[in-house]
Amino acid sequence: MVFINRNSRELNAKIVYVGPGGSGKTSNLRVIAERTDKEYVGELVCLERDRSHTAYFDFLPLSLGRIRGFRSRLLVYAIPGNIPFETSRRMIFNGVDVVVFVADSDPTRVQENLDCLTETYRLFDTYKIDPAKVPFIFQLNKRDLPHAVPEYELIRLLSTNDRPVFPAVAHTGKGVFDTFREASRRVLDKMKRPV
């Protein structure tokens, strides 16, 4: 839900990247931070256990300029897929405007993808969010793996239900901006509605 502060004339919207640990959520945010004009991007904050696992969350603020006379920001989060970090996941998921599910194409991670997707739907239930009313985008990451699960099979397993799906190799940047542009477009549509 776009947060409107009429006193400070600000609009803030939230995109949350979810997916199993190590699926590439932080890699997505790093690429966005590194390749976006510094005039619009804030500092990427990564609270991680090590370079490959988010401990609490990652956060990247982006300025969108003025929309309908309001200073507008996009708050992009990546939340951990590991069960021990359920509290931080729940806190950040509250008020989400767009969800990006980053699936791992490694055949050994299929069950982790499904478990994390189930947990994501539980978060929708926790906050009484209708998943049909929140844009939900799928990114099939690690498409460069030699034995990657075929795209059609991942799409079937994840039951994407005609939602946007983008293949990606996040660590190289491939597919990162295709996914992010779609998420941003969905947020901008919400922000441009009358306030």
CA 96 to centroid of chain Cα atoms: 10
CA angle 28/120/189 to nearest 5° reads 65
Has residue 158 got a pLDDT over 70?
Answer: yes
Predicted confidence band at 195 (pLDDT cuts at 50, 70, 90)?
low
Residue 71 pLDDT grade (very low, low, confident, very high; cuts 50, 70, 90): confident
Q: In the predicted model, what is the mean pLDDT of residues 74-85?
A: 76
pLDDT digits (tens, 9 = 90+) for 105-147: 999 999 999 999 999 998 888 888 888 889 999 999 999 999 9
8 A C-beta contact, residue 13 and residue 75? yes
Least confident piece of the model among 76-85, 129-138, 143-152: 76-85
CATH of the domain at 55: 3.40.50.300
Number of domains present in the structure of the chain: 1
Range of the domain at 12: 3-191
- Closest to 47 (Cα-Cα) out of 28, 61, 26, 32: 26
Point out the least confidently predicted range of 13-17, 51-55, 76-80, 191-195: 51-55
The length of the chain in residues reads: 195
The pLDDT of residue 53 = 53
